[in-house]
Amino acid sequence: MKIIYTKGRVLFTLSLLVALLGVNFNALATPPCTPPTLSATPTDMTCHGTTNGSVSLTVSGGSLPYSFSWTSSTGFMSTNQNISGLDSGSYTVVVTEGGTCTSTTTVIVSEPAPLTVFTASNAPFCPGGTLTLYATPTGGTAAYAYSWSGPAGFSSTDQSPNIPAATAANNGVYNLLVTDAHSCTVPSTFSVLLYPSPVVNLGADAYICGSGGSTTLNAGNPGSTYVWNTSATTQIITVTLPGSYWVTATNFYACSESDTNNVSASPYVTPTDTIHESLNNICFGVPVTFTATVTNGGTNPSFNWSKNGLFISGATNSTYTDAALNNGDYIVNRVTSNFPCALPVNTVYSDSIFMGVTANLPVSVTMTHTPDTACSGTPVTFSATGVNGGGGPSFQWIRGGVVVGSGTSYTYSPTTTDTVIVNMVSSLVCHQPDTARDTSTFVIYPHLIPYASVSFSPNDTVAYLGAVVTFFCASTYAGTSPTFQWYVNRVAVVGATNSSYARHVYENDTVRCVVRSNAICAIPNKDTSNAVIIYASFLDVTDINATGNGVSLFPNPTAGNFTLTGAVGVRNDDELQIEVMDLKGSVVYRKSIASQRGQINEPLNLAGQLANGVYFLRIISDADQKQLKLIINK
The reply to whether 186 falls in a domain is yes
Q: Residue 219 above 90 pLDDT?
A: yes
The reply to whether 125 falls in a domain is yes
Q: Residue 344 above 80 pLDDT?
A: no
* Domain match, 55 and 73 both: yes
* Domain match, 141 and 76 both: no
* Domain match, 171 and 125 both: yes
The reply to whether 199 falls in a domain is no
The reply to whether 546 falls in a domain is no
Give the strand order in the sheet containing 243-250.
207-209, 256-266, 243-250, 225-228
* Domain match, 46 and 84 both: yes
Tell me the HSE value of 406 on the side-chain side, using a 13 A CA sphere.
Answer: 4
Q: How far apart are CA 211 and CA 195, in angstroms?
A: 44
The pLDDT-based confidence of 549 (bands split at 50, 70, 90) is: very low
The reply to whether 463 falls in a domain is yes
* Domain match, 160 and 212 both: no
* Domain match, 346 and 380 both: no
* Domain match, 185 and 154 both: yes
- pLDDT exceeding 90 applies to what percent of the chain? 63
Number of domains in the chain: 7
**Among candidate residues 327, 358, 389, the one where a domain is terminated:** 358
* Domain match, 94 and 131 both: no
b/e per residue 40-58 (b: at least 16 CB within 10 A)? bebebbbbbebeebebebe
Residue 630 · residue 615 · CB < 8 Å: yes
Q: What is the pLDDT of residues 598-616, one digit of tens each?
A: 888 999 999 888 998 888 8
* Domain match, 328 and 392 both: no
Q: What is the pLDDT of residues 19-53, one digit of tens each?
A: 444 544 444 445 578 899 999 999 999 999 899 99
The reply to whether 497 falls in a domain is yes
The pLDDT-based confidence of 450 (bands split at 50, 70, 90) is: confident
* Domain match, 376 and 337 both: no
Q: What is the CATH number of the domain that holds 84?
A: 2.60.40
Q: What is the CATH number of the domain that holds 392?
A: 2.60.40.10
The reply to whether 417 falls in a domain is yes
Q: How far apart are CA 466 and CA 370, in angstroms?
A: 56
**Among candidate residues 480, 499, 534, the one where a domain is terminated:** 534
b/e per residue 68-103 (b: at least 16 CB within 10 A)? bebebeeebebeebebeebbbeebebebbbebebbb
* Domain match, 248 and 304 both: no
Q: What is the pLDDT of residues 250-276, one digit of tens each?
A: 999 999 999 999 999 999 999 999 999
The reply to whether 25 falls in a domain is no
Residue 350 · residue 273 · CB < 8 Å: yes
User: 611 is in which domain, residue-wise?
Assistant: 552-632
3-class SS letters over 7-21: CCEEEEECCCHHHHH
pLDDT at 531: 83
* Domain match, 607 and 589 both: yes
Q: What angle do CA 159, 161, 167 make, to 5 degrees?
A: 150
Q: What is the CATH number of the domain that holds 556?
A: 2.60.40.3080
Intra-chain end-to-end CA distance of the chain, in Å: 183
pLDDT at 546: 30
